[in-house]
A = this chain, B = another copy of it.
Amino acid sequence: MAKVKKINHIAIAVHDIDEAAAFWRDALGLTLDHVEDVPSQKSKVAFFPIGDCEVELVEPTATDTGVAKFLADKGAGMHHLCLEVDDIDGMLTALSKKGIRLINEKPVVLPGRRMAFIHPKSANGVLVELYQVD
C-alpha cells in the first residue's frame, strides 16, 4: 500500500520573494538554499530547508495562476502542504477509490519528481500536494 513518507515542504504564497525572504533568512536565521524560476508553473520559488522539510516561498510571475489568484483573494500566506509518498500512482488510485476529489487524476511529471494535487474540499480546506521524488 502506498505510504506518506514525510512532509516535503510547506508552500507560502508571497508577493515579492526578496522581500519575503528577509523574514525567514534575516529574522529567523534560516539558510536560503536557492531561488529557482519555474516557467512551467509561472512562478519563482525560494527554498529554506528546516530539518528534513523545507519552507518554499512562491511568487507568481503571471496573473493567471492559482497562486496569483490566491494572493489576490487572500493575500500572502500558507498555500499548500506537500507530502512525499513512496508510490504516487498507487496513492492516487487508492484515494480515488475512497471518493477523495483529486485535482490531478494522474501525476504531472517534472524533472526529478512526479506530483499531483488533492482538492481542498476533500482535505479539510488544505490544498495537499503529493510528491514522489524519483
The chain A residues found within 8 Å of chain B, CB to CB, are: 1-7, 10, 12-14, 20, 23, 26-30, 50-53, 55, 57, 74-78, 81, 83, 91, 94-95, 98, 100, 120, 122-126
Which of chain B's residues has its CB closest to A100's CB? B27
A27 touches which of B12, B27, B78, B98 (Cβ 8 Å): B98
A20 touches B124 (CB 8 A): yes
Cβ–Cβ < 8 Å partners of A28 in chain B: 4, 83, 91, 95
Give the distance to chain B from A81, nearest Cβ to Cβ, in Å.
Answer: 6
Residue in B2, B4, B74, B98 whose CB lies within 8 Å of A30: B4
| Contact in complex: B53, A124 (CB < 8 Å) | no
